[in-house]
Amino acid sequence: MSLLFQSLKIKNVEFKNRIAVSPMCQYSSEDGYANDWHLVHLGSRAVGGAGLIMAEASAVSPEGRITPADLGIWKNEHIENLKRITTFIHQNGSVAGIQLAHAGRKASCSEPWNGGKQISEQVNGWRTLAPSAVPFRETDSLPVELSLEEITRIVQNFKDAALRSLNAGFKVLEIHAAHGYLINTFLSPLSNFRKDEYGGTFENRIRFLCRIIDEVNTVWAENYPLFVRISAIDWAEGGWTIEDSVNLSRILKEKNVDLIDCSSGGLVPYAKIETKPGYQVPFAEAVKTQTGIMSAAVGMITTAEQAETILKNGQADLIFMAREYLREPYFPLSAAHLLGDDVSWPVQYERAKL
Ligand SMILES: Cc1cc2nc3c(=O)[nH]c(=O)nc-3n(C[C@H](O)[C@H](O)[C@H](O)COP(=O)(O)O)c2cc1C
């Protein structure tokens, strides 16, 4: 059997294979609610045989949304619609996860198909939040520098959202600490200029994330996996480095985090990202081999052979895929055929089994 189709158990949760649907914002919610779009989008990937399906960046507070149409989990009323989705995913043999997010200074934008630009408070937008009053783009309005009280409130927002995630039936929780959103802006010296205990040294810049993890741990199920997505490097001079990522991963490992999902970039618009197939795999490899924590590789992984090679080389434990999954929701079914593995198909689809 291929490694890609070997099951993986993390804590008490078993994934039937190593293929994960990477979180993908759908910008299709009203007031944060999941709806039929999310059920079909995520549900069809469960039918398609993914081991793990990570629901998109879900805002822990209304001002933490990238756009007014983001999925949210800031109130108990959101739980019911999400529960319907997790139930369907689990009935179809995949594991449902959710990514908790706060967009920070990259909040208050229009949907990508409406231009993706920042929208002002006067239209439909809101004041954005950040560790320091420095905007992402020079043309963006200044974010509000968070006070200590507001930091504590947002930590509490993550904790409350984690409990709601559990009540909605999710079995994996991922904290979004990547792509230039709020937690990432605390981590990087290119966006955090604070003079208090949340800025300056490495220990101070990781404090906000560590507090979130500590609080989430008090409510998230002990036997369910906890992941963190990081931007392993900023791709900019003077920014966050792979050594920082390795050091952070070592600390998170001691805090009950099971896996580091290794993305990169997104913090500053002038980053020079060198994209090519599997370009972020070396980050997953560094984190895994230098700390012993599990890691996920993501980014321009599009074929079964490529995914299998990453696992064979011991570079990662899970393979996250995003855009290829938009083209091919049933990717694992054809990947199994290509690798010569016999996997079970939904009975309704068996007449088409390759
Ligand atoms: C439509 C779309 C939405 C995305 N939304 C998120 C998100 O909610 N959270 C996140 O961490 N990454 C998000 N990403 C990034 C992907 O999860 C993934 O890391 C990136 O696309 C690289 O993987 P790929 O080459 O397989 O597409 C998104 C990507 C796409 C294409």
CA-based max dimension of the chain: 64
Exposed/middle/buried for residue 238 (C-beta within 10 Å: 0-12, 13-18, 19+)? exposed
pTM of this structure:
0.98
**Atom 2 of ligand 1, residue of closest alpha carbon:** 24
The residue assigned the tokens 């997953």 is 284
| Residue among 22, 4, 9, 172 at smallest CA distance from 97 | 172
AA identity, residue 228: V
AA identity, residue 33: Y
Q: What is the pLDDT of residue 151?
A: 98
For the CA of 301, the nearest atom of ligand 1: 26
Exposed/middle/buried for residue 63 (C-beta within 10 Å: 0-12, 13-18, 19+)? buried
Exposed/middle/buried for residue 316 (C-beta within 10 Å: 0-12, 13-18, 19+)? buried
Ligand 1: residue of 19, 22, 102 to mutate (most ligand atoms within 8 A of CB) is 22
Strands 318-321 and 294-298: parallel
Per DSSP, 95 falls in state E
Which tokens in the block code for residue 248? Answer: 């952070």
Backbone phi, psi, residue 207, to 5°: -60, -40
Calculate how far, in angstroms, residue 175's C-alpha sits from the geometric centre of ligand 1. Answer: 14
Q: What is the pLDDT of residue 122?
A: 84
Which tokens in the block code for residue 348? Answer: 């309704």
Q: What's the CA angle centered on 243, arms 208 and 173, to 5 degrees?
A: 45
Domain limits for position 256: 3-352
Q: What is the pLDDT of residue 123?
A: 85
Which tokens in the block code for residue 164? Answer: 């709601």
- The residues with which 95 forms a beta bridge, in sequence order, are 52
Per DSSP, 72 falls in state B
User: Which CATH number is 323's domain given?
Assistant: 3.20.20.70
Rounded distance, CA 10 to CA 27, Å? 30
End-to-end CA distance of the chain: 17
The residue assigned the tokens 């959710």 is 98
Q: What is the pLDDT of residue 121?
A: 87
How many C-beta atoms lie closer than 10 Å to residue 343's C-beta? Answer: 17
The residue assigned the tokens 């914002």 is 25
| Per-residue pLDDT tens digits of the chain, which is 354 residues long | 999 999 999 999 999 999 999 999 999 999 999 999 999 999 999 999 999 999 999 999 999 999 999 999 999 999 999 999 999 999 999 999 999 999 999 999 999 999 999 999 888 899 999 999 999 999 999 999 999 999 999 999 999 999 999 999 999 999 999 999 999 999 999 999 999 999 999 999 999 999 999 999 999 999 999 999 999 999 999 999 999 999 999 999 999 999 999 999 999 999 999 999 999 999 999 999 999 999 999 999 999 999 999 999 999 999 999 999 999 999 999 999 999 999 999 999 999 998
For the CA of 178, the nearest atom of ligand 1: 11
Calculate how far, in angstroms, residue 23's C-alpha sits from the geometric centre of ligand 1. Answer: 6
Confirm whether 181 is a catalytic residue: yes
Q: How many domains does the chain have?
A: 1
Rounded distance, CA 218 to CA 312, Å? 36
**Atom 15 of ligand 1, residue of closest alpha carbon:** 24
The residue assigned the tokens 């995630």 is 165
Using a 6 Å CB cutoff, which residues line ligand 1?
22-25, 56-57, 99, 176, 178-179, 229, 263, 298-301, 321-324
**Atom 3 of ligand 1, residue of closest alpha carbon:** 24
